[in-house]
Structure 1
């Protein structure tokens, strides 16, 4: 996926990945230089991983890299070995001479890796030692992304490696201004925006992850539509409506809830999703042409489904913590399950009324 055709160094023509650009000689030997402009292959890879294609293989080898023509006095920035994170950093550093230390986060982005511990103190200290970074640079300062802070104990890095940790901005796009300002961050650089574009950017992979569950749900309700007082007989007339209802719930929970997240009432993601499901449920109950009980059941199922999908979106946002997610799941999942049972029971009962 990253176009690698040989060793990471890329000193020989055609030997390194597509994003390499020769080497810089250092006290510990050659260090691979990286390009700051994305190729069409980089853009294709970024698009593919948004849809979950090759996601866990989209990595770069951990270690030390050069941007431009850095010297021993050039700054050292630290990032994850998830290639999309790495790509955003190298693109932002166009025109600068810096070192980039890539940690082995198992192909996970900085924020998630910090929560899991792979973007952490041990890996940072060990990777700095393994790369010979202390011999490459004359200073003792490392610039880490702000979202990596939960995984790194700065005082331990100082004690064990002798390097001072400075936290840079949230977004790689602010790195030029941060570097030019003498490593000083403005309040805006510390703020997580999570704009509409950012919220929708994670919906493709959510859609991919939900394809199989949605397909199973659709098949289940298509089969349930055959139940009735006269035995089992598939009712093909209901199939388009069932497919429409299942598809509308998937779209509402996976796309509309994230899109309108700041405007939906409540702090809980399960509640926000339930509100979306309630609106859709009222519409389905009103329009459902196969009896009022089936329509009400479809509405109840919409609340349950959209609430669950909203809850699943918590892992894609910077608003929540692990403890907060566990707390919300402890009460939300039982309620969602109860609504699902109630909705299915009503749906089946409607076949016999």
Structure 2
């Protein structure tokens, strides 16, 4: 007989099951899905997933997805690409270096610029597949993944038709940014001990997920990083968000940015700045009253459906 936790997971989190049951679940959802590995030009082996519409015709567009810090693409994250595949969009995602099933020390991201190149290499390999040539291509990023999507745009300005940015970490808010001399001390220590997991920080899961039973589900993810942030990762994220924050006015691709007004992990005010400063002629912003950081999982099912439908409506209008 199933225990209560297993019964909570089985309706929507196929990664909890064995491989055969997982594939059966995707078939029941009307999509096809696959897991694989991709070796980057620098020799790093990264875990990837794809979610495709289960129809004989071509997908309407390709969506390339980037997860956030400490997360992965196999647990709660994949509910969104399953939804997109059900609506005709082929989605592809990669566990970033040091995350999920990918190679690298857990939650250690020493150089985000290399991560950007990893993503571009994988995404471009998909674009070159004859099945997907000439289809519109979109970026999708959550939290840290939103910042990485903007960096991908800067690296390849014409490579994507638009971006969906969910609670993006475009700049560390002054309200939570460490005060002088803490960043300087962290930078100094990171030169000698970059992998040390000693930076004091609360578990972001409980600041991200609103619904109590969903906190339980998210916490059961066997691939979730539970340790303190590593020195090198913190210093690198401070560097990258400073860089992105100074270049909000250089963003030119079409985008929609979605943020909860009650988000204390990333700042909705910075998303407003992105919307106001970006050069993009086609740009939209959605600020959801009272919603927290995990818009596409941690909210009530009704709220998750609102955000999903806003994303779908935005994609439909551009395909």
**Structure with the largest fraction of helix:** 1
Q: TM-score, normalised by structure 1?
A: 0.31
> Which of the pair has more CA radius of gyration?
1
**Structure with the largest fraction of strand:** 2
Q: TM-score, normalised by structure 2?
A: 0.34
